[in-house]
Each structure stands twice: as structure tokens, then as C-alpha cells.
Amino acid sequence: MKTLLSLLLILAGPLCGGAQSLPVRPVARYVATPAALAETVVVHMPYAGSTVLSVTGDTAALRTAGVLQVEIVCTDFPASASLTELNAARLEAVYVRFPYLRAVPLHSVQVLRQLDGAEKAPAQGLFHGAVLRFRPRQDAALMKQDLERLEELLRPPLSPEATPAKAPATGDPGIPWVLESGFGTIVPGVQQRFVRRHYPADTILVLTPDGAVRRGYGTKKQYDDRARRYGPFDSVTVAHRVTARVFKAPEPDDEALGPVPLPDSSLFKVLTRNRWTGMPVVADVTGSMYPYTGQLLLWLRQWNAEGFTRRFVFYNDGDATPDEQKVAGRTGGIYSCTCDSFGAVRALVQHTMQRGSGGDSPENTVEALLSTQQRFPDAAFLVLVADNWAPVKDLALAGGITKPVRVVLGGVSGAGVHPHYLDLARRTGGSLHLGDADVTGLAGLREGETLQVGTAVYRLVKGRFEEERP
């Protein structure tokens, strides 16, 4: 983590020669959107100025921030101007308004330059200021809250017997339709959303009314009543669970796979694309990792140990060890098992989370990987489920890892990928996996070569990845 002073010196430095500036990413027009597993506070400032005009968002929660991302938003007018001093002033204005943030570790600071503001008139109408994204400080209370959220995600689906189809408010009895977690209804012209949906339907059947009756989806009387009330219709749509084990990953805006919405379904997408089996899975269960731990457990429940893996390692960065007593390579808080059931893995997750009580943001990721390598020496590779917001505190020990590491990152947002995970994947001959991309071939990159991940570009400098700066 860089201190505020060093970051300000970098930001205020010249664009060419000498000190480097912060990453500047072009965007057409900035729109503040929520980040997965993070709170957002927006600081509005005037065009060409750094005065704080207004603040929106939960500033009370900002006081408990444990790690912070800052986006400074400007426009491309004048196109030849660096705007370095202006954006440095905007960053300083944030710390003047919220002085307690000076003690909060900075995950990243970047400048977003809006291209739609290439002329003065449109530039004046765009958003200017700073957007603060933050995670709450890790502590025992947060871990308890995450455990409760994890249990909510894992709550068993309702059975058809427990959730009989209910008549819609219009009085129409509706037509039963089947999903794994129970019954819903189809009413004229609209499919009602399922109250507690666990897995997406394997297939969507479009049947004639007679065909639906023959298959048991409703009765002839129901269809006749609907036809009398609303007029003739040619087809009936039924969301149906087939017997074949076909799994579909959810769309990004899908609230499926649990009784509560998932803030980020990237792990499902990675596992769907790659279908790794039998490999040890190493997962960070600190901070706000419950959505990824939940997805891991739901995936296991879907495919069971035979179709997925029995080998799991979870880590919490040292149990309740105070930060000043943590020693690289001997931090602890690592728990493993060769588990034969979903229940055993779930119990191991709960135990690991309960033993942890938070602490600093960097995690003992390499120590957990080394422990896994020793526990499962026959593994062809290791799968790491990690938090993009958390640096790797013991990256210097990565030379001891002899297995390729497939790094699956959660919490990736507009700030890009933390370079530590690119370094870890490259040094071990592994790969990086995001919700929408698999990044391979990292070990073949040479000194000075670049790699693009999303909109960010990283250059290999002295054996480490650094984000390109103008």
C-alpha cells in the first residue's frame, strides 16, 4: 500500500520523464455504478475545480472503511492538458472532507478521463469529482455477519410440497410450472418471478395446452377457464427441470442460485467454462468473501464430490493473531480436509470463518498454497479463490510453489486486477480467471512486454506486473 503522501507526489509529477503519473483510463462518459461487495460514496465537484459541492452515499459507513479505492473523474478538455494538478487537488479535497480516511489503506487510485467532454460546452455538463469505493474494516462482527449471509445463500430450496402454487391476485388459478426449488405460476401475458429460486431451469418447454395437460402441467379445467376469461391461446411455457444433469451459469443480473441475490456470480462462470475436477481448491474466507465461498459450496452441492473435488483448504489470515505478531510463512489460520460430503465442506468453511476475527487487508495466500501443495502432493495444479481487494502479504515466498496456480478472482471492478495475482499466476506457470475472461500464457511473457486485462494494460517490469501509466 502506498501512503497518501507518496500517491500525491506521483499524481502531481510530470507526465513525461521523472516521476510517473497515476493510471489514466479513458471512458466515454462516467456513470457511477455500484461495485460488487463494496460501498460507494460520490463526491461532486465543479468543472475545472476541486471544491466539494455535495456528497451522496453512506458517509457513516465510510468511517468504518478497511480498504479504499478512489476514482478521480475529469474530462478530456482541453485535450492537450494533463490536468495533473487539478486532479491532485481533487484527491486532497477528499481527504480534507474526510480526514479519517488518511489512516485507511489505499487499494488503488486512478484517473478516469471522459472523452465525451472534448469540447468545453459538453465537458461542463459531465460529472466531475471523486468516487470512493470501500470495504468495511475486518473484525469479528463482520465475520459473524458474513457467516449469516453465507447461511442465507445456502438455505435449502423449498420443496414442491412446502410451496403449493398460489392463485394470482387476479383470481386466475394460474398454470403450475416447475423449477428445482418449487412451484410458481404462469398467468396470462406474464411469468411471475419465482420467490425462492435455487437453480435455473434446465430447459424451457413450449407446449400446446393439450400437451401440457398430458405431461401433468395443469389441468384441462385450468386451461379452459383461462381461455374463457382471456381468449384462446396456442402455447404454454413451462420452466422444467429435466433428469439430465445440465447446469447453466446465471446471467450477471440473475438472482438465481440462492434465496437471496448474489452480488457477483463470477465463480460460477469460471467453473462452468473450465470444469476442473479432482483438484485442490484453496479459498480465502476473510472479509467479504462469503458470495464466492457460497458459490463454491453451491457448486459442490450441484455436482457432489465425485463430479467436483474432495480436496479443500480454507484460510482466514491467522485466526485471531494480532497483525503485528503475524510472520510471513507462519501466520496460520489454514484448515483443510479430504471431504466426502457437502456437509463436511460446509462445516470446515464455518469453522475457518469462526476462528478468524479480521485484521489487516493483505492475506497469507502463498502460505495457504504451500500448505495445500504439501497436503496434496499429487495434484496437477491448485485452484485459488482469492479477493482482488486483498494484496498478497507473502508473495516473496511464491518461489516455493511448484504447482501451477489457477487464480480465480472475486471483487474485480473498474479498478482492474491487483498485480499481485498476475505475478502469482505467472511465477507458478498458472493462469488468471475472471467472470468474463480466462487469462493464460502469462509465463511466456518477457521483460517489457504488455498484457491487457479488460481496459487495463500491465507491463512486466523487473519480473513484476505494473499497470501502464501515461
DSSP 220-286: HHHHHHHHHHH---S-EEEEE--SS----PPPTT---SSSS--S--HHHHHHHHH---S--EEEE-S
Q: How many CB atoms lie within 10 A of CB 274?
A: 14
pLDDT at 205: 54
Give the whole-angstrom CA distance, residue 404 versus residue 373. 10
Give the whole-angstrom CA distance, residue 157 versus residue 178. 13
pLDDT at 136: 85
pLDDT at 163: 35
pLDDT at 358: 64
Nearest to 257 by CA among 267, 245, 242: 267
* Phi, psi dihedrals of residue 209, rounded to the nearest 5°: -55, -40
pLDDT at 154: 78
Q: How many CB atoms lie within 10 A of CB 102?
A: 12
Q: Which amino acid is residue 209, in one-letter code?
A: P
- Residue 204 contacts residue 237 (beta carbons within 8 Å): yes
pLDDT at 107: 81
Q: Which domains are delineated in the chain?
A: 4-137 (no CATH), 156-248 (no CATH), 266-467 (3.40.50)
Give the whole-angstrom CA distance, residue 39 versus residue 391. 19
Distance from CA of residue 210 to its chain's centroid? 45
pLDDT at 91: 93
CA-derived radius of gyration, the chain: 26
Question: How many distinct helices (H) and strands (E) make up the chain?
Answer: 12, 21
Give the whole-angstrom CA distance, residue 19 versus residue 8. 11
Per-residue pLDDT of the chain (470 residues; tens, 9 = 90+): 444 434 443 343 333 222 346 778 888 888 877 666 788 899 999 998 999 999 998 899 899 888 898 999 999 877 777 788 899 999 999 999 999 999 998 888 888 888 887 778 888 889 999 999 998 887 777 788 888 888 877 775 433 333 333 333 333 333 333 333 233 333 333 333 333 333 344 445 566 777 767 766 667 787 777 777 666 766 666 554 333 222 333 333 333 344 445 667 789 889 989 989 999 999 999 878 888 998 899 888 877 777 899 999 999 988 878 778 888 888 999 999 999 888 899 999 999 998 887 667 789 999 999 999 999 999 999 999 999 988 999 999 999 999 999 999 988 876 689 999 999 999 999 999 998 889 999 999 999 999 988 778 899 999 999 987 65
State the residue for C-alpha cell 510517473. Answer: 20
pTM across the whole model: 0.71
Instruction: Report the run of H or E that residue 371 belongs to, with start and end.
Output: helix 365-375
Condensed to tens digits (0 to 9), the pLDDT of residues 173-220 reads 333 333 332 333 333 333 333 333 333 444 455 667 777 677 666 677
Nearest to 376 by CA among 346, 427, 338: 338
- Residue 315 contacts residue 368 (beta carbons within 8 Å): yes
pLDDT at 264: 74
